[in-house]
């Protein structure tokens, strides 16, 4: 008889069946390719329009390429993938809709701002873990130019940016999940609530998202009965330098010290000194391409045994912002572990 329920603690889950991450891919733009992780990405495109007419279609191409590569690396065909769990930052998820249309795979469209990388992996893992599919894929994207146009100013304005502003990553990360054993296993998830600390500055996303990350990390540790040292790394999505400081200090107030194990994808992806990227990278694509290119290889070879991957999102639109609303945050965490292949 199956166990009755699989939830643990307040906000976490484990799965009835083992869930493996069997392949992944990262596709990025020129600037990301010139950054510290440049050698690790699967594809770097010199033309940020990816041969398309618009920034939005360029972002669609990112998703299309990333999924194609991830499916190919898993030695599968698109028809072997039963569900897609995907999203992006644009209004009405258009990068996703137009990017994934040609695959003709049933699609669950998701929106959790930059936390969507965690949300998509969570739902994909829940799906595989329940026996709802043999193979599914999770993917997200962002594009500097489509995001600037959507949320800030068109690039042609050449506006100045405060140092607290983050730089939206041009990139897409795709992940194929299956019950088929591989070197990396998803062993649990912790799902976030919306946390509103009254931040109103859309040029300081790190501050808006850090409280949600702090809340979620504390909850994950409590739910799983772990301390920060039980993770080789606790990796947030795109808090940047400003958000990292706030996160560490918020958790210290709860007597949790993650300073030794914390890393942030937004900090890793650019060279602050030479790339002029302000507080760091951000966007749905930031954490996804960093997980795929930087952390998964280390989880595969066992140099990392267990990490907590915590993409963070800032919940705003230009409408909510212009109407004077706060910028609340949300975070969704996935526990990833090295798993020795039994073949």
Stretch that binds its own copies, among 249-257, 260-268, 273-281, 317-325 (CB under 8 A): 317-325
Closest distance to its own copies from the beta carbon of 282 (Å):
14
Q: Does 123 bind its own copies (CB under 8 A)?
A: yes
Specify the residue, 79 or 271, whose C-beta has the smaller distance to its own copies.
79
CB 286 within 8 A of CB 89: no
Q: Does 155 bind its own copies (CB under 8 A)?
A: no
Q: Does 135 bind its own copies (CB under 8 A)?
A: no
Q: Where do we find the tokens 């907590």?
A: 308
Q: Does 153 bind its own copies (CB under 8 A)?
A: no
Task: Give the pairing type, strands 171-178 and 184-190.
Answer: unpaired
Specify the residue, 92 or 303, whose C-beta has the smaller distance to its own copies.
92
36, 100, 142, 143, 236 from 268: Cα distances, Å: 7, 28, 17, 18, 11
Q: Does 109 bind its own copies (CB under 8 A)?
A: yes
Q: Determine the size of the site formed for its own copies (CB under 8 A).
A: 64
Backbone angles phi, psi at 191, to 5 degrees: -105, 135
User: Measured between alpha carbons, how far is 127 from 124 in angstroms, rounded to an integer?
Assistant: 5
Q: Please report how the helices 205-224 and 240-253 are oriented relative to each other, as an axis angle in degrees rounded to 10.
A: 40
Considering only residues 32, 42, 48, 56, which one is a binding residue for its own copies as defined by CB under 8 A?
56
Collapse the DSSP code of 15 into the 3-class scheme (helix H, G, I; strand E, B; otherwise coil) and give the result. Answer: coil
User: Measured between alpha carbons, how far is 284 from 140 in angstroms, rounded to an integer?
Assistant: 6
Interface pattern 271-300 for its own copies (x via CB under 8 A): ------------------------------
Q: Does 259 bind its own copies (CB under 8 A)?
A: no
Q: By CB under 8 A, what part of segment 58-97 binds its own copies? A: 82-83, 87, 89-94, 97
Considering only residues 330, 334, 335, 339, which one is a binding residue for its own copies as defined by CB under 8 A?
330
Count other Cβ atoms within 10 Å, centred on residue 6. 15
CB 140 within 8 A of CB 120: yes
Q: Does 145 bind its own copies (CB under 8 A)?
A: no
Collapse the DSSP code of 142 into the 3-class scheme (helix H, G, I; strand E, B; otherwise coil) and give the result. Answer: strand
Cβ partners under 8 Å of residue 19, min gap 6: 125, 128, 129, 177, 178, 179, 185, 186, 187
Interface pattern 34-53 for its own copies (x via CB under 8 A): -------------------x
User: What angle is formed at CA 213 by the lines to CA 327 and CA 205, rounded to 5 degrees?
Assistant: 35
Q: Does 156 bind its own copies (CB under 8 A)?
A: no
Q: Does 144 bind its own copies (CB under 8 A)?
A: no
Q: Does 202 bind its own copies (CB under 8 A)?
A: no
Considering only residues 75, 104, 273, 342, which one is a binding residue for its own copies as defined by CB under 8 A?
104
Which residues here bind its own copies, judged by CB under 8 A?
A: 2-7, 11, 13, 16, 53-54, 56-57, 82-83, 87, 89-94, 97-98, 100-101, 104-113, 116, 119, 122-123, 126-127, 129-134, 150, 191-194, 196, 315-320, 323, 325, 328, 330
């Amino acid at each position: 008889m199956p166990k009755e329920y699989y939830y643990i603690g307040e906000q976490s889950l484990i799965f009835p069946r083992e869930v493996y991450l069997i392949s992944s891919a990262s596709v990025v733009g020129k600037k990301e390719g010139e950054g510290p992780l440049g050698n690790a990405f699967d594809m770097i495109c010199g033309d940020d329009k990816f041969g398309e007419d618009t920034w939005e279609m360029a972002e669609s191409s990112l998703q299309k390429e990333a999924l194609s590569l991830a499916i190919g690396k898993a030695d599968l065909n698109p028809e072997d993938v039963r569900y897609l769990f995907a999203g992006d930052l644009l209004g009405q998820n258009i990068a996703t809709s137009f990017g994934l249309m040609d695959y003709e795979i049933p699609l669950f469209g998701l929106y959790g701002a930059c936390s969507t990388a965690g949300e998509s992996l969570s739902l994909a893992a829940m799906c595989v873990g329940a026996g709802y599919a043999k193979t599914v894929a999770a993917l997200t994207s962002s594009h500097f130019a489509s995001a600037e146009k959507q949320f800030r100013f068109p690039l042609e304005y050449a506006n100045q940016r405060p140092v607290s502003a983050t730089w939206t990553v041009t990139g897409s990360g795709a992940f194929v999940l299956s019950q088929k054993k591989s070197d990396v296993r998803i062993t649990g998830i912790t799902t976030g609530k919306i946390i509103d600390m009254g931040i109103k500055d859309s040029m300081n996303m790190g501050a808006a998202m850090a409280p949600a990350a702090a809340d979620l990390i504390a909850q994950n540790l409590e739910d799983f009965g772990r301390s920060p040292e039980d993770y080789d790394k606790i990796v947030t999505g795109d808090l940047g330098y400003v958000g990292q400081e706030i996160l560490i200090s918020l958790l210290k107030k709860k007597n949790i010290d993650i300073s030794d194990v914390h890393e942030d994808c937004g900090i890793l992806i650019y060279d602050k000194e030479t790339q002029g990227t302000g507080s760091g990278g951000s966007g749905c694509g930031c954490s996804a391409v960093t997980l795929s290119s930087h952390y998964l290889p280390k989880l595969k070879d066992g140099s990392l045994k267990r990490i907590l991957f915590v993409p963070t999102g800032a919940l705003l639109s230009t409408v909510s912002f212009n109407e004077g609303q706060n910028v609340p945050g949300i975070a969704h965490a996935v526990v990833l572990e090295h798993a020795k292949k039994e073949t």
